[in-house]
Amino acid sequence: MKRVIITRKIQIVVNEDNKEIRKTHYETLHYWNFTLTRCANLIATHQFVIENIKDLMYLVDEVKVKAADIKKDPEGILNTSRMNTTYRLLSKKHLEDVPSTFLTTLNSWVCKNFSEEKQDYYTGKRSLRNYRKNVPMPFQKKSLNYFQWNEKLNQFTFTLAKIPFKTYLGQDRSGNRQIIDRVLSGEYKLSDSSLKYDDRKNKWYLLLTVSFDSMIYDGSGGDKICNAWLGFEIPIISKAEKRETEIGSKEEFLHRRLQIQAKLRRLQVAIRYNDGGSGRKRKLQAIERFHEKEKHYVKTKMHLYSKKLVDFAIDSKCGKIILNNYKEVAEDTKKEDNQGKLLLRNWSYYGLSDMINYKANKYNIEVEVL
């Protein structure tokens, strides 16, 4: 069976009754987050310089410069490995400020990103990655201590870097409690995870990463192919041999979204009559409530459509899903005319393939994009 890795976003809060101590813990988390953002950019910059040190020949004369460990290469100028160079730099500057579990994992994560993307830097496909504020705070799995279900709080509790946390699962429609229970029972294996701060909502999240064998249905044994076509009238048309189904419709998708857009426009007109006295924030608080509603609605629909497609492939015993015209449809949404802008705003096909891949991967079903 194929090993599957998934990440679940779980809201967490500091588990401390004393207000002063709780406030101190949050201040510490924000400081770590700020420091790690600077560290991530520092790592990327140093890795880029080391990679291109051979081009800085104006610094020396008649000396061969090679970014390699001198222990392994006589022409090398480093006294340690490439990855360890940036970790030693971080340790010297920030080890007293930030726990080593964050520095170690962040260094590995950024170095891995750089290694995977460096070829694109030279071909002009992308520029050097810039890590903005509130970068995820990765940590080693062994740093997650005392993970257990608390009957009194009716939530999971754990300790990370000597700070106590508790989860907030809410209605738990994603089945996060079941996943954590399986981690605690040993059925799922915990991997390196991270913390993430959402400054818009002022909330902290645990990005819990776990791995497990593919689900009961193993698509690798199926020789059937599920063909899918994307469109603007019908989001997805799927066909497997003699079976065919339509997923979603234009009216069903657009109706609610256009309602949200119309409501937002009405609010924008009406806010001029709102009471003042507390500045811009109070005037615009109604608008802020709608800021993410349209985006959330589209994401929810894309999740629904992708799930129905994968379920159809499973019912048809298919081992592969082919998105036949995905690139063509995605490119059509880039048109500069009014129709193209409307399509881009109202259909959002760009994230659909990732959602299909994510869900199909759990059942070991291959996805091909044409």
Residue 153: give its domain's CATH number: 2.40.280
Shared domain check, 268 and 330: yes
pLDDT above 90: residue 124: no
Vertex 342, ends 337 and 347: CA angle to 5°?
Answer: 130
Mean pLDDT for the chain overall: 83
**Amino acid letter at 95?**
L
Last residue of a domain, one of 174, 193, 213: 213
**267 and 208: one domain?**
no
Containing structural domain, residue 178: 3-16+139-213
128-164 pLDDT tens trace: 889 988 899 999 999 999 999 999 889 999 999 999 9
Here the tokens at position 145 are 């201590």
CATH, residue 225: 3.30.420
Would the pLDDT of 186 be above 80? yes
The answer to whether residues 155 and 8 belong to one domain is yes
Rg (CA), the chain: 25
pLDDT band at 208 (very low <50, low <70, confident <90, very high): very high
Residue 259 in domain: yes
Kindly report which listed range (40-44, 93-97, 228-232) carries the lowest average pLDDT score.
228-232
Same domain? 49 vs 149: no
State which of 165, 187, 213 marks the end of a domain.
Answer: 213
- Residues in the chain, overall count: 370
Looking at the structure, do residues 331 and 277 belong to the same domain, yes or no?
A: yes
Asked whether residue 189 carries a pLDDT value surpassing 90, the answer given is yes
Q: Is residue 257 part of a domain?
A: yes
- Mode of pairing for the β-strands spanning 155-160 and 193-198: unpaired
Residues 230 and 278 reside in one and the same domain: yes
Picking from 123, 158, 185, the residue at the C-terminal end of a domain is: 123
133 located within any domain: no
Number of separate domains in the chain: 3
Q: Please, is 36 exposed, middle or buried when counting C-beta atoms within 10 Å of its C-beta (0-12, 13-18, 19+)?
A: buried
Does one domain contain both 53 and 184? no
* Chain segment 283-324, per-residue pLDDT in tens: 777 787 777 787 788 888 888 999 999 999 988 888 899 988
Quickly state the pLDDT bin for 221 (edges 50, 70, 90): low
Instruction: Please indicate, yes or no, whether residues 317 and 266 belong to a single structural domain of this protein.
Output: yes
Instruction: Output the pLDDT for position 44.
Output: 93
| 366-369 and 318-323 beta bridge pairing | parallel
Q: What is the mean predicted confidence (pLDDT) over 195-207?
A: 92
Whether residues 256 and 345 share a domain: the answer is yes
pLDDT in tens, 63-91: 456 566 566 666 566 667 778 888 888 98
pLDDT per residue over 264-276, tens digit each? 888 888 887 777 6
SS in 3 state form for the chain? CCEEEEEEEEEEEECCCCHHHHHHHHHHHHHHHHHHHHHHHHHHHHHHHHHCHHHCHHHCCCCCCEEEECCCCCCEEECCCHHHHHHHHHHHHHCCCCCHHHHHHHHHHHHHHHHHHHHHHHHCCCCCCCCCCCCCEEECHHHEEEEEEECCCCEEEEEECCEEEEEECCCCCCCHHHHHHHHHHCCCEECCEEEEEECCCCEEEEEEEEEEECCCCCHHHCCEEEEEEECCCCCEEEEECCEEEEECCHHHHHHHHHHHHHHHHHHHHHHHHCCCCCCHHHHCHHHHHCCCHHHHHHHHHHHHHHHHHHHHHHHCCEEEEEECCHHHHHHHCCCCCHHHHHHHHHHCCCCHHHHHHHHHHCCCCEEEEC
| Whole-number pLDDT of residue 84 | 84
Q: Give the model's pLDDT for residue 76.
A: 62
| Residue 127 pLDDT exceeds 70 | yes
Question: pLDDT-derived band of residue 345, with 50, 70 and 90 as boundaries?
Answer: low
> pLDDT for 23-33, tens place per residue?
999 999 999 99
Instruction: With respect to residue 132, please indicate whether it lies within any of the assigned structural domains.
Output: no
